[in-house]
Structure 1
């Protein structure tokens, strides 16, 4: 059991909207919820918002060291969405993750999710767990599990490392992600799964996790990132 199993909204969030301070009796008012930007166009494969929606594969896709079967992302990480995510991830307002997930759920449903055996998530490091009680990638995967009934698997572990991905360029993120993850000893692996992360930036973290899972025997892997960095 984790913090996500309890409804802590009333404890962790005030009665006023956290963004505009409108009295609502909820952490986000309806206007601010609508302002959370869903992805609506971009590369047909990777959801890159900087290219035409007629693009079937862009430069971002082509440089991936691992090609997922399918890929989707929920919202654009900017403006009000960025503010809400930072409140959740860095200031402890964990119930806000569900608001973001609910807003981005339709994008997840675009995946052929019924053809996959389950969900897995990117694990957090030991040092992050010391000061952050909830892994946001797990929070997203758990939300999707609750909404769709897709089994949730705990398959990956994070090797001991202090270096984060924040602030690194593409090449540095790829180097940093290599060999950071391993499949949990004795884990029963499904034949196919959807790998979930909170933020999709360069794809380096999802690539590193996917390579470990594929080498261990998972045959088909799709990706879902709740937020797409722009």
Structure 2
């Protein structure tokens, strides 16, 4: 009862604060239309949309996506958008400059796509896992963006979140590496705790998929422990040149 009352008071305070001093849109800087919004209505409507009605919420069916992913070990791919502006800008702001406003916006967009997915798809995964980050790197950044996205997915879809995957060492960052360099960098990079119970139907969450090297390595590991069908969920997917 006290918690609900506090939530209502905070919501009313946020609404009043918005009326006095509206937040700027994270893309055009004009005032947004609600205290929980990160974009104005015009920018929200102008965001690029993926043709999910054509590919049935699996981007691997689109040639322009599949062409850039060599032998994917996952069965389906769901993303909010292509790795282009404005999502590229927001992802870089979130990951490398600790812009939590951009992070909240991306989590909102991710939740919106998953809500559509839930309404259209008949079978949801049994559990959600996410790409782990080395402890030292996570302490430096302050968060693991894949974990935060996975928490949003678990809440929206009411699916268990399993923190199964672990980093075995501090590998070189994948940014800027070629496909072969990414594959070599990821050898033996991940592990599962002994006797881990891995569900047959899983969703693997990351922020961006570029070549698919990280996702493929994790999918190999998960399949060795019993996973049969793996969906990869990301904010953005990089298209092949």
TM bin (shorter chain): 0.7 to 0.9
161, 170, 181: which one aligns with 1:172? 181
Report the alpha carbon displacement of residue 203 of structure 1 after superposing the two structures with TM.
Answer: 0.7
Q: Distance in 2 between matches of 1:180 and 1:111?
A: 35
Number of positions where the alignment pairs a residue of Structure 1 with one of Structure 2: 211
Distance 1:137 1:38, change over 3 A: farther
Greater Rg, structure 1 or structure 2?
A: 2
Q: Alpha-carbon deviations, 1:21-78, whole Å to 9, x = none?
A: 2123543222223333232279865265737xxxxxx4445x22x5323222221111
SS at the partner of 2:199? Answer: coil
From 20, 27, 41, the equivalent of 1:19 is 27
1:22-41 counterparts in 2 under 5 A?
A: 22-24=30-32, 25=35, 26-40=37-51
Among 162, 165, 188, which residue is 1:153 paired with? 162
TM-score scaled to structure 1, two decimals?
A: 0.78
Listed as ranges, the matches of 1:87-98 within 5 Å are 87-92=93-98, 93=100, 94-98=103-107
- Match in the other structure for 1:4: none
Equivalent residue, structure 1, for 2:6: none
Alignment RMSD, CA only?
2.8
| TM-score (normalised: structure 2) | 0.75
Give the unaligned 5+ runs of structure 2.
1-9, 15-21
Among 213, 232, 235, the alignment partner of 1:223 is 232
Extract unaligned runs of 5+ from structure 1: 1-6, 52-57
- The superposition leaves residues 160-203 of structure 1 with CA deviations (integer Å, 9 ceiling, x where unpaired) of 21401101111111111221111134433222211111101111
User: Using a 3 Å threshold, how does the CA distance of structure 1 residues 102 and 115 change in structure 2: closer, same or farther?
Assistant: closer
Are the counterparts in 2 of residues 48 and 60 from structure 1 also a CA contact under 8 Å?
Answer: no
Large movers: runs of 4+ above 3 Å:
41-45, 58-61, 106-113
> Which sits farther off after the overlay, 135-144 or 81-90?
81-90
> For residues 126 and 30 of structure 1, do their structure 2 counterparts lie closer, same or farther at Cα, with a shift above 3 Å needed?
same
8 Å CA contact 1:47, 1:72 repeated in 2: no
Q: 1:54 is matched with which residue?
A: none
- Residue number in structure 2 paired with 1:46: 60
Q: Is contact 2:25-2:40 (8 Å) kept?
A: yes
- Conserved in 1, the CA contact under 8 Å of 2:126 and 2:199? yes
